[in-house]
Amino acid sequence: MIEEIFIINKDSVYIKTIKKSPLTLRLVVLVIAAVCGMYICLISLEQPKVRTSTKLLELRVVNQSCHHPSAVEDWEIPYLHYPQPKNYSREECACNPVRFFSILTMQRSGSGWFETLLNSHINISSNGEIFSVAKRRENVSSILNTMDKVFNLDWFNSASKNECTAAVGFKWMLNQGLMEHHKEIVEYFERRRVSVVFLFRRNSLRRMVSVLANSYDKEAKPINGTHKSHTHSSIEAEILAKYKPWINTTLLIPELKKTEETASKAIEYFKNTRHNVLYYEDLDKNLTKLKEVQEFLRVPYRDLHSRQVKIHTAKLSEQIENWDEVQKCLQGTSYHSFLLSD
Ligand SMILES: *[C@@H]1O[C@H](CO)[C@@H](O)[C@H](O)[C@H]1NC(C)=O
Ligand SMILES: *[C@@H]1O[C@H](CO)[C@@H](O)[C@H](O)[C@H]1NC(C)=O
Ligand SMILES: *[C@@H]1O[C@H](CO)[C@@H](O)[C@H](O)[C@H]1NC(C)=O
Ligand SMILES: *[C@@H]1O[C@H](CO)[C@@H](O)[C@H](O)[C@H]1NC(C)=O
Ligand SMILES: *[C@@H]1O[C@H](CO)[C@@H](O)[C@H](O)[C@H]1NC(C)=O
Ligand SMILES: *[C@@H]1O[C@H](CO)[C@@H](O)[C@H](O)[C@H]1NC(C)=O
Ligand SMILES: *[C@@H]1O[C@H](CO)[C@@H](O)[C@H](O)[C@H]1NC(C)=O
């Protein structure tokens, strides 16, 4: 180090002046001290790097002792994760690979029901609407940190399993920071191999009825003063379905268009991730559709159950206050079919 300094300064007048002035000598000592200080700093900065690499080595040892299940196809290998939760040991599940997923959806599209179905599988843990809490989506880093925690199996709630988790995920509404930060989120999904399940409703007029009824319920709370977005009781479902919303037809077509555009924009943003587009109506009509979902998530097939009861089961014409007006508004438009499907 010291030699280097002299080499650098060999030809300069600086060296010569050192001898003359004790002040410059002091300066040189200072410089040497500073360089030594920097050197020490550098060495101590090296230390964590050393530690990290031993940590990586440990991880690699863990990986090596886990053989991928024989049924796994080559393309799947990057999608297999072996999380090591911070606060507990996975012990007997350590070598059970875990896949990551996210359900991207909109409010009142059946995602609550869909999640209860998924969570009835012993190996699936779907952690709910984690980004409904504004603080978790305040900025990109809090979004990514929250996902890290979920995917590391460090997120505890009723969806956490005692059995070996084979797929872990959560549901995410498009209006919860997902569209704003889509670039970083797509990057994260691609890097960490998160599979995407889009869940939409084909009939967004029915969705609109559900949205309006749900926001009415938030205010009126006809069930003993509690707000219910979902129910397990057919009596409660009947009470909730009694309310018939009035739809502002000036806004109807623009709203339906907006919903449609948001959904296709989301699919466009995430088109390069591994994804699957599901429609609530298809699931509702034919629960064997859930077999495809399980195949997509690469979990062993099981019959899935939900105790949730559907709220709006009647014909659409019986669920909208100003049905005639709505009918007139959509007649002959591309949304005409929404009036007919039940
Ligand atoms: C080994 O573990 C690391 C860290 O958990 C992970 O990033 C990597 O993909 C794993 N490798 C294999 C082959 O599973
Ligand atoms: C992101 O938000 C979190 C709170 O959720 C905050 O603590 C953090 O400082 C914010 N980071 C940036 C870069 O703004
Ligand atoms: C893990 O334990 C620490 C200390 O007990 C706690 O602060 C932290 O919140 C825990 N993490 C999770 C994900 O529960
Ligand atoms: C599902 O959980 C059971 C019980 O913990 C476990 O034996 C099985 O290996 C798990 N399946 C997968 C695919 O992880
Ligand atoms: C509402 O109150 C009635 C009468 O007090 C009771 O029978 C019923 O179980 C309550 N329903 C709920 C959902 O709490
Ligand atoms: C319907 O929406 C339009 C446009 O926002 C608004 O001008 C009008 O007042 C609304 N009608 C009613 C009855 O609320
Ligand atoms: C339900 O879907 C499965 C495949 O997804 C199909 O084979 C079956 O015929 C369908 N059943 C009905 C009643 O549509």
pLDDT one-digit tens code per residue, 294-324: 999 999 999 999 989 889 988 999 999 999 9
| Atom from ligand 5 closest to the CA of residue 233 | 13
Confidence of residue 51 (pLDDT cuts 50, 70, 90): very low
H helices within the chain, ranges in order?
Answer: 2-9, 13-20, 22-65, 111-119, 140-151, 182-192, 204-220, 234-242, 249-269, 280-285, 289-297, 323-330, 336-340
Q: Is the CB of 323 under 6 A from ligand 1?
A: no
Instruction: For ligand 5, atom 3, name the residue with the nearest CA.
Output: 224
Q: Is the CB of 152 under 6 A from ligand 3?
A: no
Q: State pLDDT tens for residues 231-245.
A: 998 889 988 888 999
Residue 10's pLDDT is what?
A: 38
Residue 3's pLDDT is what?
A: 40
Q: Hey, is 43 helix, strand or coil?
A: helix
Q: Is the CB of 239 under 6 A from ligand 5?
A: no
| Atom from ligand 5 closest to the CA of residue 223 | 13
Strand order in the sheet with 194-200: 124-126, 167-173, 99-105, 194-200, 275-279
**Range ranked top by mean pLDDT from 67-71, 195-199, 304-308:** 195-199
Do 136 and 142 form a contact (C-beta atoms < 8 A)?
yes
Least confident of 45-49, 102-106, 284-288, 304-308: 45-49
Report the interhelical angle of 323-330 vs 249-269 (nearest 10°).
60
Q: Is the CB of 224 under 6 A from ligand 5?
A: yes
Instruction: For ligand 1, atom 11, name the residue with the nearest CA.
Output: 63
Q: Hey, is 85 helix, strand or coil?
A: coil
User: Looking at per-residue confidence, does 133 or 67 come out higher?
Assistant: 133
Distance of alpha carbon 203 from alpha carbon 200, whole angstroms: 9
Residue 15's pLDDT is what?
A: 41
Cβ neighbours of residue 74 under 8 Å, at least 6 residues apart? none
Do 126 and 119 form a contact (C-beta atoms < 8 A)?
yes
Distance of alpha carbon 2 from alpha carbon 218, whole angstroms: 74
Q: Is the CB of 16 under 6 A from ligand 2?
A: no
Instruction: For ligand 5, atom 14, name the residue with the nearest CA.
Output: 224
Instruction: For ligand 5, atom 7, name the residue with the nearest CA.
Output: 224
Query: What distance in angstroms lies between residue 200's CA and the mean position of ligand 2's atoms?
Result: 31
Q: State pLDDT tens for residues 132-145.
A: 999 999 999 999 99
Do 108 and 210 form a contact (C-beta atoms < 8 A)?
yes
Residue 6's pLDDT is what?
A: 40
Q: Is the CB of 139 under 6 A from ligand 2?
A: yes
For the chain, what is the mean pLDDT?
Answer: 86
Tell me the pTM.
0.79
Instruction: For ligand 4, atom 5, name the residue with the nearest CA.
Output: 163
Q: Measured on CA atoms in the order 256, 262, 266, 267, is the torsion positive or negative?
A: positive
